[in-house]
Amino acid sequence: MSNIQAYPWEAPISEPAATLAGRFSQLVPELVTKRLTLRAPILADFPAYAEILMGDRAEGLDGPFDREAALLDFSQYVAGWLLRGTGLWAVERRSDEALLGFVLVGMEYSDQEPELGYLFTEAGEGQGYATEAAAAARDFALRDLQLPVLVSCVDPANTRSARLAERLGAHLDVAASDADTQIWRHAPVVSKGPLS
């Protein structure tokens, strides 16, 4: 049985709904770096998101998740664009448009502050893509959206994620951290003015 038969909510949408979804997607800011494009997520990106959250890669994210929980998480961050003006980007390599992972600026239930998150496929790791994408998302959130604060919440066992936060210039907020979660605070970015 194919994924579409097993999970009909993941089936491609038909016109005119696809046209409407495309118009909404065009409102999500596209960020371009030297090697990457951060673009609006589309339904076809969900299997890659689910693969990350349903596998060992999600152990530091309160996972692994089941497929339903992965869809709810994906939907929550995509909806953030409409509800909060922040959300999830799909990260593509510019040279071949390969989907490498996702970065987000969002707030989920119980968050006290906006969070910068990053989830990458195995193929997207070890080449600096996460640092490049997360830096672009951080700069957009702090400079263009003028968020007053941005944190990354990291499982203490996830040393790779903590090192990424350090590479981004974040500092560990020991007072706000606990045994389950480290809070990494991202420094404000010099303003170039608000998003037009």
Question: What are the tens digits of pLDDT across the range 117-154?
Answer: 999 998 998 899 999 999 999 999 999 999 999 999 99
What is the per-residue pLDDT for 10? 83
pTM, full prediction: 0.89
Q: What is the DSSP string of 166-183?
A: HHTT-EE-TTT--SS-EE
What is the per-residue pLDDT for 81? 96
- For residue 98, give every residue at least 6 positions away whose Cβ sits within 8 Å of its Cβ, in sequence order, or none: 92, 123
Give 171's Cβ-side CA count (13 Å radius): 6
Q: What is the pLDDT of residues 53-97, one digit of tens each?
A: 998 777 767 768 889 999 999 999 999 999 999 999 999 999 999
Find out whether the peptide bond into 41 is cis, omega within 30 degrees of 0: no
Does position 196 have pLDDT exceeding 50, yes or no? Answer: no
